[in-house]
Chain A
């Protein structure tokens, strides 16, 4: 005779451990922290090396110069670069009672990055058993991302820009963490190879219900040939927000800021 075992959801007695409630509490904390943020925008691309961090940093500065309150979260935990571009790579973070204060970078942009936390030249490494670390490393990185969103006193922001690493993993983690799918700004270079990689990213964002703000084509007029931005704009019905020349002028970023 099989044992008569009630299911997980049928057991509803309160328990001190309360793992489910602990997770729910994390979500509430994050939602509360971001309640004063007007818009969360992720800067992403399916491809590496197209200039996401470069675009993020200059867009943030242009928005700040236009009088907007801007924050940047460097979500590239393993290859953080945007903090250096905003001249706050070595800033020390002040620990408050229930949150860490973000550093202040160029043009007053509020910023938190793993670059500020790691020893120079060292990779992001976690304590714990290294054998089969693939089992828990993803969870650790997602946990770190959650804390950088929820445990930083971002304050009232018009825009919080998230600079993502290449690939889709971080975007999917954000979709699980945030109260609503974030708006997406994609960056490509002109080549067909970049177009194909960014297409996958846009498709993923579309499937998750993220508003697609448009595409920025970077490194235009240099050695990279192609029509990636136009192709993607037509395919997804989104605007080309900017074509950033190899040597951008200051008004390049100002124009981009007016379109975001």
Chain B
């Protein structure tokens, strides 16, 4: 999927992704020459199709987690299917704290995917030098990383 600014004959560059939370997705692209922006809007079925392919419109800045599509999409997964590692990669990175609200929000994530979600948020915070994960950080990460459904 690419966008062409026909008037300028230039390929438009991805600029921003938004996930309103209703299963839809918005991705903005801008012409590098004239500055015109267009938004691609997908309905829930189209968003799901893209997720099913294991790709993210707009790309991502963190590496994919093992079984990311399965853990992110399966609705009938066992809560105790996975044993998460203990140590630096377990989402409790040294120097990183979770606010009470963020911890409470994490408890509402199904056990099947919770370990992965925790690690993704921790990696996101670490990469940006964020010391405390709050619901606002989680929302930002969710949009920036394209974590629809997590």
Could you tell me the distance between the alpha carbons of A169 and B6 in the complex, rounded to whole angstroms?
Answer: 40
Could you tell me the distance between the alpha carbons of A15 and B59 in the complex, rounded to whole angstroms?
Answer: 9
* Contact in complex: A118, B74 (CB < 8 Å): yes
Q: State the A residues within 8 Å of B (CB).
A: 3-6, 8, 11, 13, 15-19, 22-23, 26, 92-100, 116-120, 122-129, 131-132, 135-137, 139-140, 142-144, 146-148, 151-152
Chain A contacts for B63, CB-based, 8 A: 98
Q: Does B131 contact A (CB under 8 A)?
A: no
Q: Does B73 contact A (CB under 8 A)?
A: yes
Our pick among A17, A120, A128 for the contact of B57 (Cβ within 8 Å) is A17
Q: How far is the CB of A208 from chain B (nearest CB, A)?
A: 22
Chain B contacts for A124, CB-based, 8 A: 74, 76
Chain B contacts for A142, CB-based, 8 A: 52
* Contact in complex: B89, A97 (CB < 8 Å): yes
Q: Does B94 contact A (CB under 8 A)?
A: no
Could you tell me the distance between the alpha carbons of A176 and B98 in the complex, rounded to whole angstroms?
Answer: 42
* Contact in complex: B14, A17 (CB < 8 Å): yes
Interface flags, B122-139, vs A, CB<8A=1, else 0: 000000000000000000
Q: With A15-B11, A97-B89 as given contacts, are A23 and B53 in contact (CB-CB < 8 Å)?
A: yes
Q: How far is the CB of A126 from chain B (nearest CB, A)?
A: 5
Could you tell me the distance between the alpha carbons of A119 and B80 in the complex, rounded to whole angstroms?
Answer: 9
Chain B contacts for A140, CB-based, 8 A: 48, 52, 69, 73
